Amino acid sequence: PFLKQWPKVPIALEASNDFVDLFSHGFDMAIRVGQIVDDRLIAKKLGYTTRVLAASPEYLAEFGVPETPEDLTKHNCLRYQYVSEIG
Protein backbone atom coordinates (compact mmCIF):
# COMPACT_ATOMS: atom_id res chain seq x y z
CA PRO A 1 0.00 0.00 0.00
CA PHE A 2 1.21 3.45 -1.01
CA LEU A 3 0.80 5.24 2.33
CA LYS A 4 2.60 2.52 4.29
CA GLN A 5 5.52 2.62 1.87
CA TRP A 6 5.69 6.45 1.62
CA PRO A 7 3.98 7.80 4.77
CA LYS A 8 5.43 11.33 4.46
CA VAL A 9 4.18 12.02 0.93
CA PRO A 10 1.28 14.47 1.22
CA ILE A 11 -1.78 13.69 -0.88
CA ALA A 12 -4.73 16.04 -0.96
CA LEU A 13 -7.94 14.67 -2.42
CA GLU A 14 -10.79 17.04 -3.10
CA ALA A 15 -14.04 15.48 -4.24
CA SER A 16 -16.78 17.76 -5.46
CA ASN A 17 -19.95 17.62 -7.49
CA ASP A 18 -19.32 21.23 -8.52
CA PHE A 19 -17.73 22.10 -11.84
CA VAL A 20 -14.44 23.60 -10.63
CA ASP A 21 -12.08 25.67 -12.80
CA LEU A 22 -8.87 23.69 -12.33
CA PHE A 23 -6.63 26.60 -13.31
CA SER A 24 -8.03 29.22 -10.94
CA HIS A 25 -8.06 26.73 -8.03
CA GLY A 26 -4.43 25.65 -8.56
CA PHE A 27 -4.94 21.95 -9.27
CA ASP A 28 -2.03 20.01 -10.76
CA MET A 29 -4.12 17.03 -11.84
CA ALA A 30 -7.75 15.97 -11.86
CA ILE A 31 -9.84 12.93 -12.62
CA ARG A 32 -13.24 13.86 -13.98
CA VAL A 33 -16.25 11.80 -14.88
CA GLY A 34 -18.07 13.01 -17.97
CA GLN A 35 -17.36 15.23 -20.93
CA ILE A 36 -14.32 17.54 -21.06
CA VAL A 37 -15.57 21.00 -22.02
CA ASP A 38 -12.45 23.13 -21.39
CA ASP A 39 -10.14 23.19 -24.43
CA ARG A 40 -7.23 24.38 -22.24
CA LEU A 41 -7.05 20.92 -20.66
CA ILE A 42 -4.95 18.04 -21.94
CA ALA A 43 -7.12 14.99 -21.35
CA LYS A 44 -6.80 11.25 -21.76
CA LYS A 45 -9.73 8.91 -21.39
CA LEU A 46 -8.93 6.48 -18.60
CA GLY A 47 -11.92 4.25 -19.18
CA TYR A 48 -15.50 3.79 -18.14
CA THR A 49 -16.80 3.93 -14.59
CA THR A 50 -18.57 1.34 -12.50
CA ARG A 51 -19.20 1.40 -8.78
CA VAL A 52 -17.52 -1.29 -6.73
CA LEU A 53 -16.76 -2.05 -3.12
CA ALA A 54 -13.16 -3.21 -2.80
CA ALA A 55 -10.49 -3.79 -0.16
CA SER A 56 -7.00 -5.24 -0.18
CA PRO A 57 -6.36 -8.62 1.48
CA GLU A 58 -4.06 -6.82 3.94
CA TYR A 59 -6.80 -4.37 4.94
CA LEU A 60 -9.33 -7.16 5.46
CA ALA A 61 -6.83 -9.17 7.50
CA GLU A 62 -6.22 -6.16 9.76
CA PHE A 63 -9.77 -4.79 10.10
CA GLY A 64 -12.02 -7.74 9.24
CA VAL A 65 -14.54 -8.35 6.46
CA PRO A 66 -17.74 -6.29 6.66
CA GLU A 67 -20.78 -8.56 6.65
CA THR A 68 -23.53 -5.92 6.38
CA PRO A 69 -23.78 -2.37 5.01
CA GLU A 70 -23.92 -1.11 8.61
CA ASP A 71 -20.48 -2.66 9.23
CA LEU A 72 -19.00 -0.14 6.79
CA THR A 73 -19.45 2.63 9.38
CA LYS A 74 -16.62 0.97 11.34
CA HIS A 75 -14.24 0.89 8.35
CA ASN A 76 -11.95 3.38 6.62
CA CYS A 77 -13.82 4.04 3.37
CA LEU A 78 -13.40 6.36 0.40
CA ARG A 79 -16.56 7.07 -1.53
CA TYR A 80 -18.01 9.48 -4.02
CA GLN A 81 -21.55 10.52 -4.71
CA TYR A 82 -23.62 12.80 -6.90
CA VAL A 83 -21.50 12.19 -9.97
CA SER A 84 -22.90 14.31 -12.78
CA GLU A 85 -22.01 14.71 -16.41
CA ILE A 86 -21.06 18.11 -17.81
CA GLY A 87 -21.93 18.92 -21.40
pLDDT, tens digit only, all 87 positions of the chain: 788 898 998 888 888 777 788 889 888 888 887 777 788 888 888 888 777 889 999 999 999 999 999 999 999 988 766 555 444
pLDDT given for residue 82 in this prediction: 54
Contact criterion met (CB below 8 Å) for 72 and 66: yes
Q: What distance in Å separates the CA atoms of residue 33 and residue 49, rounded to the nearest whole number?
A: 8
List C-alpha distances in Å: 5 to 2, 9, 11, 31, 79.
5, 10, 14, 24, 23
Q: What distance in Å separates the CA atoms of residue 3 and residue 82, rounded to the nearest whole number?
A: 27
